[in-house]
Structure 1
Amino acid sequence: MTVLLAFAAALSAGTAQVKITPPDGAPMAGYYYERGTTGVHDDLWAKSLVLEAGGERAALVACDLIHLTRGVVSEAKRLIEQQSGLKPHQVMISATHAHTGPVVAGGSSRYETAAAPGGKAGAYAKWLPGRIAESVRLAAGSMRPSRAFSGSGNESLIAFNRRFHMSDGTVGWNPGKMNPKIVKPAGPVDPEVPVVYIQTEDGKPLITYVNYALHLDTVGGTEVSADYPYTLSTLLTGAKGGSMLTLFTIGCAGNVNHIDVRHAKPQKGHEEAARIGTVLAGEVMKTWARMVPAGAATLVSRMEIARLPLAPHRPEDVEWAKGIAAKFGKPNAAPFLEMVKAFRVLDVEARKGKPLEAQVQVIALGNDIAWVGLPGEIFVELGMAIKRASPFNRTIVVSLANDNLGYIPNSKAYSEGNYEVVSARCAGGSGEILVETAGRMLKEMYQ
């Protein structure tokens, strides 16, 4: 028994990062219009953490991108299995949701295809899986005996629910600063800052893994940037001597951004991204001081498919949507929400009634830390519900993992409407299906 316990407690870890910055002129993601990169403020990276315990391995990968398509992820996982031996269910590949990076072509979102005409983004999407696989290969090749610690900070001053109850009875989306019609936020924020810190057996800092539920849409413009995680990484890595990797993943922030509507001060640009990254880094540094060791380092990975019903539309909506989409990018383009609805109708119609397949992934380190991967922009209420349902000491919910199914609101939001609901390819109740699936998996995997 003593031998078995000692074996279970052994942990090895390896880290690496590989540059994934696009070339100048690459089409940029994030908005409903065409724009190309004009320079690089800071590079984009595919960052990897590979863990091994009890004879099992798993990899956690974060890319400084707006999202990842199922095709890119599948090809990356094929290469990872070929080069490093990890099975697809053992690898969680997520995007941070940076809005100042390249379009990742090949997804189901027609507006991104329209915003990157002529197939300009195709070459990047073909190149990207190899870079992700290289990051994992390098991390797997640098494994060393390690110790893991976890903790949680609390930061409620930089994140805000972007949906508001308005004085006319509607629910607004990004209604503007100092808008006198705002009554109150229509939802919460998740202030938790989960942190996993891993060091080598001799005490050398290896990685700080940070998760936070806040949109990465701070910078704007046409310079490539990782947004606020750039400053977060620079400060944390610098504080630990320069060799430690900082890996950031986005939590459930589908309805959460950085805009404080209570004041009129502009909140856009690199200065604002640096402010947010600095505040978040400060909370992580405080959390370092109260980390607790992770317990027995058994490692378990699991993936399930949850089938989500499609958002409904009327047959006559299809021809209407085709007409709206034909005006994309032209002077007579339709109003924003009409355009959003049109692209949603066309995307859903193309599925011919086939439900969306959502990959729900859990990677668990002992009974202490569980990572949950969900494939879309998940509303904050849903992520918090998964955490409440989890028996693990620390549950980290990662959105935009392994795929991007678009916005996945909670049921309440469907009766309120506005942008995220108009955009959602899935029907009401889909978010709760993810909560049920993830919660059940967590309970079944808890030892």
Structure 2
Amino acid sequence: MGGYADRSDGVQNVLDPLEVHVVTFADAGHRFALVVADLICVNVDVVDRIRSAMRDIGVQSCWVAATHTHASPEAGCSPGGDATPRHVAGRLEAASLVAARSAMASERAARLSSARTMVPKLAGHRNIADPSALDIPVDTIVVTAGIDVVGLVVVSPVHPTILPADNNHVSADLNGGIRRALSTPNRWVVAATGAAGNISTRHTRQGRGLDEVDRLGAWLADRAEPVSPRVGRGTPTPVRPPVTQTVTLAPKQPAELDVAVRQTPQPGVGNERIHWVMQQGLRIAEEQAARQRTEPYVIGVEAVDLDGVMVVAVPGELFLELGETIRSAAPDEVGDIVVLGYANGYLGYLPTRDTQPCYETYVSPVTSGSGEIVVEAAVKAAVAAARDRQHSRRISA
């Protein structure tokens, strides 16, 4: 199983089934598919494989995202991404194609809007000793047919890690709880994960089992439930291919790790768990440093406009604050942005210039300040996608 560094057991059973969801967005000229899989990560190799297979069935562009559940099979989720195990890649591709064909067969005229809900007492900064909870921004893409809400894409910026490291039963974890709480016979729900790099339920959960998964899923659902759909917002925007910004990030150097170690506070009363996690991260960092990587990491940050809803995909673990910066830094013409993490590859944590030493900075394969570089690329991609939107509207008019 993937996710926890100190896990030793493999998959023993099923707590709740892992799922692959596909939503297609199409018009006469282009079809875009969003694939969301209950896996710890998706690497570039399997993303390319799925994109190629999707083109064969009429999907011109495609994103593949992982929910980042830590109760799933290992999928090559090492910093920088590794080769996806063959059996995982094959099953993910097959399930994606089945789901995509089903989505295409049930396509219907619909409109999209986005809604944001601040959910209190859901989660907080996971590696800070202060246990105070945050108001967590949960974004929902609302799919409306006529006056009926027929689908929701819920993006939660929270690590789905309610289930512990000694759990050996597969589960969608928090994202599964969200789906169960919001789904109805007449409404489908896709639960994706956003800028969750430093956010978890560590200080807010009241248990480590499926009951707590469903409690927190219902807690979020009760507050994110769309009350009244927005309809009739003018002419639909044509479906356009995503815009990609290529980003080059420098690998973390041993000297940077040495500085971080010197700055790491010693354990004190009440934060033994945090200290243990940081020591675990240090061991991982030392293993990376021993490999002495010199070549940069190259990733793609993408943006797509879906009927006026701008969605950005980042192939790594973006801190919540950086996700919020993408939204606030974009010009007004872009509109609200929904930030999707763990999508189209897996690089690992993306630290900022001023991130204090923590587990995330230790195990990140890239140098500090990489987070700001990714934010800048995400804003550029969103601006370019917004320009495509305006150009398409002028042509349509």
| TM > 0.5 fold call | yes
Q: Is the 8 A contact 1:150 1:294 kept in 2?
A: no
Q: Distance in 2 between matches of 1:91 and 1:158?
A: 31
Q: Distance in 2 between matches of 1:79 and 1:222?
A: 32
What is the identity, as a one-letter code, of the residue corresponding to 2:228? A
Q: Is the 8 A contact 2:348 2:364 kept in 1?
A: yes
2:62 alignment partner in structure 1? 91
- Per-residue deviation, 1:377: 0.9
Q: Distance in 1 between matches of 2:370 and 2:179?
A: 34
Matches within 5 A, 1:358-373: 358-366=299-307, 368-373=308-313
TM-score by length of 1: 0.74
Q: Is the 8 A contact 1:363 1:370 kept in 2?
A: yes
- Per-residue deviation, 1:123: 1.8
- Per-residue deviation, 1:338: 3.5
Q: Distance in 1 between matches of 2:203 and 2:280?
A: 23
1:45 lines up with 2:9 in the alignment: no
**Please, which of 335, 350, 371 is the counterpart of residue 408 of structure 1?**
350
Q: Which is further off, 48-57 or 215-224?
A: 48-57
**Please, which of 87, 104, 109 is the counterpart of residue 123 of structure 1?**
87
TM-score by length of 2: 0.83
- Per-residue deviation, 1:424: 0.5
Q: Match of 2:74, SS?
A: coil
1:397 alignment partner in structure 2? 339
Q: Is the 8 A contact 1:214 1:258 kept in 2?
A: yes
Q: Is the 8 A contact 1:190 1:384 kept in 2?
A: no
What is the identity, as a one-letter code, of the residue corresponding to 2:161? D
Provide closer, same or farther for how the CA distance between residues 336 and 266 of structure 1 changes in structure 2, counting only shifts above 3 A: same
Provide closer, same or farther for how the CA distance between residues 148 and 357 of structure 1 changes in structure 2, counting only shifts above 3 A: same
Q: Distance in 1 between matches of 2:231 and 2:328?
A: 20
1:288 alignment partner in structure 2? 227
Matches within 5 A, 1:9-28: 27-28=1-2
Identity of aligned residues (%): 23
Q: Is the 8 A contact 1:94 1:402 kept in 2?
A: yes
2:36 alignment partner in structure 1? 62
1:207 alignment partner in structure 2? 151
Deviations 1:92-125 (A, max 9, x none): 11111111111113x5559999xxxxx9x54223
2:73 alignment partner in structure 1? 102
2:322 alignment partner in structure 1? 382
Matches within 5 A, 1:24-423: 27-53=1-27, 55-86=29-60, 90-105=61-76, 108-109=78-79, 121-164=85-128, 175=129, 182=130, 191-201=136-146, 203=147, 205-220=149-164, 221-238=167-184, 242-260=185-203, 266-285=206-225, 287-289=226-228, 291=230, 295=234, 296-300=236-240, 301-313=242-254, 336-346=280-290, 349=292, 352-366=293-307, 368-390=308-330, 391=332, 392-413=334-355, 416-423=356-363
Q: Is the 8 A contact 1:306 1:437 kept in 2?
A: yes
Number of residue pairs matched by the alignment: 362
Provide closer, same or farther for how the CA distance between residues 276 and 82 of structure 1 changes in structure 2, counting only shifts above 3 A: same
Q: Cα RMSD (Å) of the superposition?
A: 2.8
Q: Distance in 2 between matches of 1:32 and 1:51?
A: 40
> Which structure 1 segments of 5+ residues have no match?
1-26, 114-118, 165-174, 176-181, 318-333
1:9 alignment partner in structure 2? none
1:167 alignment partner in structure 2? none
Q: Is the 8 A contact 1:92 1:361 kept in 2?
A: no
Q: Is the 8 A contact 1:152 1:195 kept in 2?
A: yes
2:265 alignment partner in structure 1? none
Q: Which is further off, 394-403 or 148-157?
A: 148-157
Q: Is the 8 A contact 2:162 2:209 kept in 1?
A: yes
Provide closer, same or farther for how the CA distance between residues 279 and 294 of structure 1 changes in structure 2, counting only shifts above 3 A: farther
- Per-residue deviation, 1:256: 0.7
Larger radius of gyration: 1
- Per-residue deviation, 1:199: 3.1
Q: Match of 1:191, SS?
A: strand
